[in-house]
Amino acid sequence: MARTFIAIKPDGVQRGLIGEVISRLERRGLKLVAIRLMQVDADLAGRHYAEHVNRPFFPSLVSFITSGPIVAMIWEAANAVALARQTMGSTNPGEAAPGTIRGDLGIDIGRNIVHGSDSPESAEREIGLFFGAGDALDYSRSADRWITES
């Protein structure tokens, strides 16, 4: 089953939106297989956001993501990456569609509540940065057959 890395950023934690974000992903049907409340340091932030190192917003991005605890998670579903990105909405909450996490809960691109991997390759890389081997649990839910047909 495909996996994606999702993080509730410091703004989401500080605003009391942990339950809201998890609830939306759960209700969609994705399955939580690993979760960790943690403080990101500058080294991990730099590795996580390595693709953005030369962008003008990189310093503020690192300062933001290290500004307080985050909730790091692994979620599972067929096509987990695209499903989670759709549920999150566009990067800029000011432009994200209503009904999405960012579109319903935010207004500023620098405070966009959640991170989600942008490809299966990114998901694998990011899961490796935030979790160790064996952290993700393999289990089934009795509701799974009511969420997917096969």
- Is residue 52 part of the annotated active site? The answer reads no
Asked if residues 115 and 45 have their Cβ atoms less than 8 Å apart, the reply is no
Structure tokens at 105: 């809960």
> Does residue 57 interact with ligand DAT by CB under 6 A?
yes
Binds Mg ion (CB under 5 A): choice among 20, 118, 120, 135: 118
Q: Which does 2 bind (CB under 5 to 8 A by kind): ligand DAT, Mg ion, none?
A: none
Q: Which does 61 bind (CB under 5 to 8 A by kind): ligand DAT, Mg ion, none?
A: ligand DAT
The least CB distance from residue 121 to ligand DAT, in Å, is 14
Select from 11-19, 38-46, 71-79, 104-112 the region that touches ligand DAT (CB under 6 A).
Answer: 104-112
Q: Using CA atoms, how far apart are residues 81 and 135, in angstroms rounded to an integer?
A: 19
Query: For residues 104 and 118, which CB has a smaller minimum distance to Mg ion in the complex?
Result: 118
Catalytic residue among 8, 74, 115, 130: 115
CA distances to 5, 7, 57, 74, 99 from 135, rounded to whole Å, are 13, 15, 32, 9, 31
Q: Using CA atoms, how far apart are residues 18 and 70, in angstroms rounded to an integer?
A: 9
Contacts of 78 (CB under 8 A, 6+ apart): 1, 2, 148
The least CB distance from residue 122 to Mg ion, in Å, is 7
The least CB distance from residue 40 to ligand DAT, in Å, is 13
> Does residue 13 interact with ligand DAT by CB under 6 A?
no
Q: Using CA atoms, how far apart are residues 138 and 150, in angstroms rounded to an integer?
A: 18
Query: For residues 47 and 141, which CB has a smaller minimum distance to Mg ion in the complex?
Result: 47
Asked if residues 74 and 127 have their Cβ atoms less than 8 Å apart, the reply is yes
Of 33, 44, 54, 58, the C-alpha closest to 138 is: 33
Residues contributing to the site for ligand DAT (CB under 6 A) = 52, 57, 61, 91, 109-110, 112, 115, 118
